[in-house]
Amino acid sequence: MDLAIIDQSQPGVSQYHRDLVKCVLEYAGQYMKLPDNTEMSVTFMNNEEIHRYNREYRNIDKPTDVISFAIEDDDDDFPLLPDEEMGEDLAKNIGDILVSVDIIAQQAEYLGHSFERELGFLVVHGFLHLNGYDHMLGDAEEKEMFDLQRNILDSYGLRR
């Protein structure tokens, strides 16, 4: 997986936590059998900045833990490729995840587990949204997404 990690948070996310995010998301991509050339980004930020995104793009005037911006591939403006093999080689960008490091710390403390578990939980949660899962569509969809999320995290080794 081609993963861009951007850190806009203050005082910044440790290299250990950046590496953890990379490993967890690469594992999740393999777990879901995504192509190796899948692209995405994760941006770490503080509450003030994620609050701005939440207000601007979701009309919710408060900070949140994670926001996912999926990229839709059904673009009618993109020309059809005559060679199917060539199309398979093109990278597929699935989107961007924004994560509040402030809320990771708050939620980890509140839930009584590690910062690493909460970090893994939120990036996998956002990753699943980028891949079309949505727990807000109904009970069956919520169960499917949360079961998959738990299975990925547990098999990776980030248990509650």
Which amino acid, residue 127? Answer: F
DSSP 8-state secondary structure symbol assigned to residue 77: T
Alpha-carbon distance of 34 to 42, in angstroms, equals 17
**Residues that constitute the known binding site:** 125, 129, 135
Three-class secondary structure of residue 11 per DSSP: coil
Alpha-carbon distance of 58 to 108, in angstroms, equals 25
Alpha-carbon distance of 85 to 94, in angstroms, equals 20
Which tokens go with 109?
């403390």
Placement of tokens 């005037």 in the chain? 61
N-to-C CA span, the chain: 26
**Residues that constitute the known binding site for Zn(2+):** 125, 129, 135
Alpha-carbon distance of 64 to 86, in angstroms, equals 40
